[in-house]
Structure 1
Amino acid sequence: MKGVSPVTIGLVLLALPILVWLWWTSGEEEAPIAAVSRREIPAGGGQPAGAGANATPRELPPIETFSAMIDHPLFAATRRPPGMSSVEEEPPPPEDSALPPPPEDNIADRYRLVGTVQEGGRITALLAATNGSFVRVRRGDRVESWTVGAINRQRVLMVKGESATELTLEPVGALSP
């Protein structure tokens, strides 16, 4: 055959046995697809017309069937329920009254808390420096001569020797451009 690609001939030869197999295996033992009709619902409610007395409502499986979903939540990073983390939660930083006055070398003048992220029981904080750079810190990390003493969702406690300073998360409207 002139003008017919060898690839085309190969595809036809490959398709022929498949078509023969489909024709051979399709028998009359398969039930034809029945037409679907909507049943009329009486004006007073109740069962649809044609629904026999043996129609029973479906029952939900017992709740124990879903215990694996509760024990290992799909969208949790550790696949553990929120209150069952294997890592101890960090204690909240001390109250404002327990903090000594900020020292002359105040880190709050150079950094501000932008946000916190909790993943796998550990909290990470993002600090923005006045020079435009960002620093990601965890408990125990050092920023300049300061150490991160504690982190919770709204605050980071920075410790230097006997003095401590708290960086608090500012509301979105309060951030300066």
Structure 2
Amino acid sequence: MNRRLVLLLGAAGILAILLVMRQFVWVADDGIVRPAAPPQVVAIRQESGQFLPDFPAFDAIADRPLFRADRRPPPVPESPLIETPPTTQQGGSEPGFIVVGIGTNENGGVATIRTNTETRRAYVGDRIDGWRIEAVNRASIEVSNGETSYRLFIGEDTE
């Protein structure tokens, strides 16, 4: 250890000892060291009377319980997912990669793609092995190479 470190550790040790001693002793104005006084206990003031008003004051709340069915918003009708099957035209080969994960937000999305050599992120417009990412959806991505397009779902192998 160098000299600076030894001095720094010594000063830190002395300060730690003084801090611990401060908890147990107290130096009075006259210079006499005395034991530290125990912390003062503050008594809690007792109140008289009822803490809350009578139950009839809460009738308005009791008449509207939280979990009553007529207090819930109407259900939102679910729209069915429209699956568009992948279209393959003559003369194209299938993409040689797998979609490992997808993340979407209001600004677009990102897909994690695993090829034979690497795993990487891909955004709309990126090219991977000659395939362009056209769209990133919640459960799939759409890729095309000009003449052929595919929809690839997470974990689906095209080979």
Interval of TM-score (by shorter of Structure 1 and Structure 2):
0.3 to 0.5
TM-score (norm 2): 0.47
TM-score (norm 1): 0.43
Determine which structure has more spread, i.e. the larger CA radius of gyration.
Answer: 2
Higher share of residues assigned strand: 2
